[in-house]
Every structure is written in C-alpha cells, then in structure tokens.
Amino acid sequence: MSQKEKTTIYDISRALNISAATVSRALNNSNRVSTKTRELVLKTAKAFNYQQNSLAVALKSGRTFNVGVVVPFINRAFFASVIRGIEEELEPKGYHVIICQTHEDASKEARQLQALLNTHIDGVFISVSKSTEDLKHLQAVLQSKIPLIFFDRKKDLKGVSAVSIDDFQGAYDAVTHLVEQGYTKIVHLGSDRKLNIYEDRYRGYIAALKAHGISSRNLFTLQMSSTIESGIEAVNQLYDSQTDFDAIFCASDYIALGCVQELRSRGIQVPQEIGVVGFSNEPFTSHLEHPLSTVGQTPVLMGKIAAQVFLEQINAGKDSDPIEKSVVLKPELFIRSTSLKKGTL
C-alpha cells in the first residue's frame, strides 16, 4: 500500500512483462508505442504511483529544471518581489527557483555562481552586488552555455539579456513632477554611480532640469548610501552649506525618509516649503502618515518578464546564438503627499 521505495520504470516493466524501454516510451508519449500498451503502462503507472526520477532525467538530459536567482539580499521588498515574479512565472512550467544572496559581496557572488553552475541549473537571474567589478564569474556562466539574465542592476556583457526599468525616465518624470508643482531649486541625493541604476537616475535628473530651462546654477547633487541616516545627514549638510533649495529628489526611499524626518524635526513644512520624492516605492512609503511620493519599479512584473526572456532563450535551443534582449520597463510615478505644493491634501 504505502510504497516506501519509489517505483521505477523497471517495476512497471516487470509487472507488465515488457521492457523498460517501452515503458519509457509510453510515458514520454512517443508515437512508437501501440495505443494498447501505452494505456496499460499509464494505468499501472498510476496504480503504482509512479513518479519520474528527475535526478536521473537531469543526469541523462543535462536539464535540471532548476534556475538560480542571485540577489544582494532576499529580505528586501524589491528583490523579494522580483523573485516572486520569477517564481510565479516559472513554477507552472515545472521549474524551481534556487535563491542565493551575496550580501553585496563580489567574492561571495562569484562563489554562489560557481556553486549554482555545479548544480547544473538551467539558467541564472542576477542583480549584481554593488562591489562587483570583475566579471569573470559572469563570463563563466556564459561559457557554460547557460542563459544569464540581468535584472535591475546590470553590467555590460555581450550576449546577456537584461530586464530593468527606465531609471532615466523615472528620474525625469519625478523631477518634472516637482517642477510642475512649482519647485525650482531641486537637489538630487543619489548613490554610487558605478551602478548603472544610480547613474541613470542622475542623468534623468540633469536632463529634466535642462528640459525645463532650469539653470545649471541651481543644480546640486550629493552621493551617499541608501539609508535613512544618510538622508538626515544630507539635509544637515544642505543647511550647513547654505544651499538654496526647495525640493529634493532622492535616488532611494530611505534617503527620502531621512530627509523628511530631518526637515520636519527642523520645523520645515513638507511639501509646502520643501518637496521630496523618493525612489523604489518601498512598502513603508505608502503607510506613512504623510505618504511619500516615489517612483515604482514594478518588481513583480520585472521578475515575470525576466522569466519570460529566460524561457525564450531556452526555447531557442541551447546551442543557438545567445539572444541579447534588453527589456526596459516603464517606471510608475506615485504622487503622494510629500511633493504636492499646489495640491490640496
């Protein structure tokens, strides 16, 4: 009744007095089997509660139906949501998602990738760590003919597809929104521009100011880490240096939150005196008493698209030329209360 031992195709073949090969064929819908035997096999397979041993299939075929996802941290809303998107898209196709986190450590990233390669995953999704500069470990994936897909944070690498949001546009839209609200002296608080996403946001900021005829004299930027503390410090710095500003566009929600906190504690009205916009649409931004305006990155969608790109590459065949596809998602501007100079709350 309760079969502890897994039944194999041999069990079925013995019970039916046919060869294991025939059983395999019947199970795999080969047309080289008579309908009669196929039905017989299928029936006894069900009766025996047969489950294909995916390990053996993997060893034989080279496909494991596992994919790896490498992110800096798994318990960050953005990354967790991307993973969710990937999982939801791939799970119905029989894939499993193996997760790895790098803690923003390039050497750990390299080790994780090596380990993944060794377990014969069918594909790798990665958002590179901040410290990643050497690209050897990524090239190793390519050499193994394994589809590699960047999401959000990417590097320049030939033959690698990438899914990201238009960070330039996101920044552009955010700054344009601030201008439309009547802010004219807009500061940008960004982060490490070695990462494409922060560079693009910076450029979007510059372009928007230019497009709206704001003199470059009123252009002011700082680079910092994405933390509340940095935001607080930045505001202090702005006042210490007597910078003349009436709005802050931040490349991170955490920086933005720090700004709002420090501005309020200085008795400054947000958004009446100073407007603030963040980036990422972290969950907390909408729960604040004065919800934070921010740029959303549609992370679940990003994961789903990345998964679709992966499936395309798989379907194109292992040995076909690598498809280099670049999908750029539209950011969503969430206009909430910290940037409404004109608006009625």
Distance from C-alpha of 289 to C-alpha of 310, rounded to nearest angstrom: 41
The number of residues in the chain equals: 345
Count of alpha carbons within 13 Å of 275, Cβ hemisphere only? 26
**Contact residue for DNA among 3, 14, 34, 91 (CB under 7 A):** 34
Contact 127, 70 (CB under 8 A): yes
- The reply to whether 32 sits near DNA by the rule CB under 7 A is yes
**Residue among 63 and 290 whose Cβ is closer to DNA:** 63
- The reply to whether 37 sits near DNA by the rule CB under 7 A is yes
Contact 138, 155 (CB under 8 A): yes
Contacts for 111 with CB less than 8 Å, ≥ 6 apart: none
For tokens 């008493």, the residue is: 289
Residue type, 115: A
The least distance separating a copy of itself from the CB of residue 53, rounded to whole angstroms, comes to 8
- The binder of 4, among a copy of itself, DNA, none, by C-beta within 5 to 8 A per type, is a copy of itself
Distance from C-alpha of 29 to C-alpha of 283, rounded to nearest angstrom: 48
Q: Compose the 43-82 pattern: x for residues touching a copy of itself by CB under 8 A, - for all others.
A: --------xxxxxx-xx----x-x------xxxxx--xx-
- The reply to whether 8 sits near DNA by the rule CB under 7 A is yes
Contacts for 47 with CB less than 8 Å, ≥ 6 apart: none
Tell me, letter by letter, the H, E, C secondary structure of 43-79. Answer: HHHHHCCCCCCHHHHHHHHCCCCEEEEEECCCCCHHH
- The reply to whether 45 sits near DNA by the rule CB under 7 A is no
- The reply to whether 21 sits near DNA by the rule CB under 7 A is yes
Stretch that binds DNA, among 24-32, 244-252, 273-281, 308-316 (CB under 7 A): 24-32
- The reply to whether 301 sits near DNA by the rule CB under 7 A is no
**Contact residue for DNA among 6, 266, 318, 330 (CB under 7 A):** 6
126, 129, 211: which is closest to 177 by C-alpha? 211
The conformation of residue 139, written as its DSSP 8-state character, comes to H
Q: Which residues from 85-124 bind a copy of itself, rule CB under 8 A?
A: 87-88, 91, 94, 96-101, 112, 115-120
129, 137, 249: which is closest to 189 by C-alpha? 249
The least distance separating a copy of itself from the CB of residue 248, rounded to whole angstroms, comes to 17
**Contact residue for DNA among 14, 43, 57, 180 (CB under 7 A):** 57
- The binder of 63, among DNA, a copy of itself, none, by C-beta within 5 to 8 A per type, is none
- The reply to whether 314 sits near a copy of itself by the rule CB under 8 A is no
Which residues of the shown chain bind a copy of itself in the complex (CB under 8 A)?
A: 2, 4, 51-56, 58-59, 64, 66, 73-77, 80-81, 83-84, 87-88, 91, 94, 96-101, 112, 115-120, 143-145, 228, 257, 264, 283-284, 287-290, 300
